[in-house]
Amino acid sequence: MRKSIKCYIHLLFCIVAGTFGENLTVHKASVAVSVGQSILLQTSFTLSHETLDYEFQWETGDYVIAKYTAYNSSFTPQGIPTWTNGRTKIYPKYKERVEIYPLNGSLLLKNVKLNDTRIYIFCVLNVEKNIRLWVHENSKTLGEMKLRGWNDTIFIFRILLCFFFVTSLILITRCLDGSRPLLSANHQHS
């Protein structure tokens, strides 16, 4: 019973607070990173009304990653947070892999895995924005593949160069030797 009342109050707060016109910005709608690296999902927000308390969270479509609840915050006249005291909750699946930045809402995702490729949702009060994260194989592997492609191209170029060199030597030798004409009698034109 107590939990349902708390959820109802939170929902009511989100509905009422959302009517004040919060501004939420994602600095890149789509980002890419290599496996094992860290990536900052960079955001910022302003609140258009004076409030000491607010909440934001990061989630995927099916899982909450982290939540920050701010108490006794201060803002610039433009509504940008300048100081906050609050509580961060990181959910078990992402423990030790994420950091939250309370003053702008950004999420640092560490040691990314291929299965981290997805859409991440940032929600302040009831306003939300998405960031698409693409995780690819290690950049060293991609670099090696590019290098291998260039090496193959250079190898083919060298083979062709050798072929033309040998063919030219044979033709020059035959021409200088005079033993065999370059064109046979039935191919010569008058």
pLDDT mean across residues, the chain: 79
Cα separation values, 85 from 9, 46, 56, 71, 74, Å: 21, 17, 13, 5, 9
Residue 104 to residue 124: CA distance in whole angstroms: 10
pLDDT at residue number 158: 77
Give, as one character, the DSSP assignment of residue 134: E
Each residue of 47-93: pLDDT tens digit?
876 677 889 999 998 899 999 999 888 888 888 888 888 999 999 99
Between 20-29, 101-110, 126-135, the lowest mean confidence (pLDDT) is in: 20-29
Give the Cα-Cα-Cα angle 149, 153, 156 (nearest 5 degrees): 140
> 107, 130 in Cβ contact below 8 A?
no
Give, as one character, the DSSP assignment of residue 76: -
Q: How confident is the model at residue 10 (pLDDT cuts 50, 70, 90)?
A: very low
Q: Which CATH class is domain 2-137?
A: mainly beta
| CB contact set of 72 (below 8 Å; sequence gap of 6+) | 52, 53, 84, 85
Biggest distance spanned by C-alpha atoms of the chain: 108
Q: Residue ranges of the domains in the chain? A: 2-137, 140-187
Q: Please give the structure tokens belonging to residue 25.
A: 């910005």
Between 27-31, 61-65, 79-83, 116-120, the lowest mean confidence (pLDDT) is in: 79-83
Residue 105 to residue 99: CA distance in whole angstroms: 10
Cα separation values, 31 from 59, 62, 131, Å: 16, 20, 8
How much is the pTM? 0.62
Q: Taking residues 133-141, what's their average pLDDT?
A: 79
List the 107-109 sheet strands across, edge first: 39-41, 107-109, 98-100
pLDDT at residue number 4: 46
Using the predicted structure, report yes or no on whether residue 122 has a pLDDT greater than 70: yes
pLDDT at residue number 51: 72
